[in-house]
Structure 1
Amino acid sequence: MPDAPLRTQAVVAWLRGGGLSAVARAVSVFVAVLSVGLILASFVWPEPAAPVAANPANLPSGAPLKLVIPEKGVDAQVIPIAVKDGVLDPPQDFRQVGWWEGSSIAGPSGLTVITGHTVHTGDGAMDLVPDLGENHEVDIVTDKQVLRYMVTHKETLTREQVQKQSEDLFSPGPDNLMLITCTDYNGTDYTENIIVWAQLVGSRPLKK
């Protein structure tokens, strides 16, 4: 069974505190929630098709429906998640990931934030996100197309560092996609968060 999400007074204070934008405060909350790990079973990942190039600036945006990481064999359903009672809970099903509805829909219009649990025994949807490096490819499936992103950089931070750096971490920039999960399992829980940024580079049509 998954552990209960973090709901401490400190987390609520992040959301209500001054100095940070509403976006940064809300993201800080759910990044803290990601320190909770799951211990669950396995499943098989399908292999996606290759994309075709397109001008990223002209691509239509859409709500993300699936996260696909071809090189890592990841194919996970994306469901919308929102802040409730000061907490943004990732999906309890470790095979799913969550798109924070307070961020942009997928495409060139802004930063899309996707998060999910890591399973320390293996086979969670976000388990291999810490292994992503520069130029790894990430696909986001919408109801219109498959959007391809290229990883630009990543950073591992403690929850305290995320809180302090939230305004810079989640401010608008050249990257269109942010993947966030937990990392550094100490035998009891996860002590850090891994944040991966990626830039939109192209698309391919949906399969008929």
Structure 2
Amino acid sequence: MEGLTIAGAVSAVLGAALTVCGAVLVMRPAPRMTPQALDAGTVPAAVGGPATDAASAGAGSPPVRLEIPELRVRARVLPVGVRPDGTLQVPPSGRDLGWWRGGAAPGSATGTVVIAGHVDTAREGPGALFGLRGVRIGGRVNVRSIDGRTRDYRIVARRAYPKQRVPSSVFAQDSPARMVLITCTGSFDRRTSSYSHNLVVYARPD
């Protein structure tokens, strides 16, 4: 199926809203959520200013592979870069995941590591995060970084939010170190090619 939509609410703290729709992310300041094309959306700026490359800032190390042993998921993780016009290309393949490098990287002392992926695609069927809604609390997420280290996270919560009501706290960069995995869930509307909800799985360093 096409039309993956990960939509975020307006963030008073971050000063922007987050939406991941289809294959493109758009970075732009936004006082409120506005309707977006199915292949575009917005990501939040880092606290206190625009998004920065966490790796170049020396905060942790960029992820290159993510594993969820319980689901037998082993997916490549690609960094999401910001173009001058504010757009980012999310990996088109449902087998790959995208790491927002404007947020924290694995190993950062604080902040949220944001990793998003397709629940499914028309060409490939189920994506890497297709089974995420069934993951158990207490399950492990293992992330291998470009520095060669594997960092372990423990799943602590799983929430489904209506796509226009994802709380801004999901993307906080002033939070204790954590990771969020984001994909789609709920009912699929063929008229708009979108899902009704966004699934957010929260994990803490183990």
Query: Normalising by the residue count of structure 2, what TM-score does the alignment of the two structures yield?
Result: 0.67
**Per the alignment, do residues 118 and 2 of structure 1 end up closer, same or farther by CA in structure 2, a change over 3 Å counting?**
same
Displacement over 6 Å in runs of 4+: 31-37
Deviations 1:31-65 (A, max 9, x none): 7979969xxxxxxxxxxxxxxxxxxxxxx931100
Report if the CA contact (8 A) 1:71-1:136 is conserved: yes
In the alignment, residue 119 of structure 2 is paired with which amino acid?
T
- Partner amino acid for 1:116? G
In 2, the alpha carbon distance for the partners of 1:141 and 1:67 equals 6
Match of 2:198 in 1: 193
Q: Which amino acid aligns with 1:130?
A: R
Whole-Å separation in 2 of the counterparts to 1:138 and 1:18: 27
Higher helix share: 1
Uncovered stretches (5+) of structure 1, i.e. residues with no partner:
38-59, 202-208
2:79 counterpart of 1:80:
yes
Which letter does structure 1 place at the counterpart of 2:115?
I
Kindly provide the CA deviation profile for residues 179-200 of structure 1, in whole angstroms up to 9, marking residues without a partner as x.
0011113252311100111011
Match of 2:20 among 22, 30, 37: 30
Structure 1 counterpart of 2:12: 19
Pair 1:128-2:131 in alignment: yes
Counterpart-to-counterpart distance in 2, 1:147 and 1:4:
28
CA contact (8 A) 2:3 2:21 kept: no
- Taking the aligned partners of 2:86 and 2:19, their CA distance within structure 1 comes to 7
The alignment status of 1:142 with 2:145, answered yes or no, reads yes
Structure 1 residues 156, 86: closer, same or farther in 2, change over 3 A? farther
Q: Partners of 1:161 and 1:3 in 2: how far apart?
A: 18
User: 1:175, 1:198 within 8 Å by CA — same for their partners in 2?
Assistant: no
**Which structure's CA Rg is the greater one?**
1
Q: 2-side partners of 1:124 and 1:112: how far apart?
A: 20
Asked if the contact 1:30/1:87 (under 8 Å) is kept, the reply is: no
Seen in structure 2, the aligned counterparts of structure 1 residues 36 and 184 have a Cα distance that, compared at 3 Å, is farther
Deviation at 1:3, TM superposition (A): 5.1
8 Å contact from structure 2 (residues 70, 135) kept in 1: no
Q: Partner of 1:161: helix, strand, or coil?
A: coil
Distance in 1 between residues matched to 2:141 and 2:157, nearest whole Å: 13
Where structure 2 has 5 or more consecutive residues not aligned to the other structure, the ranges are: 26-36, 40-58
Name the SS of the counterpart of 2:19 in structure 1: helix
The whole-number CA distance in structure 2 between the counterparts of 1:175 and 1:128 is: 24
Change over 3 Å in CA distance of 1:87–1:5 after alignment to 2: farther
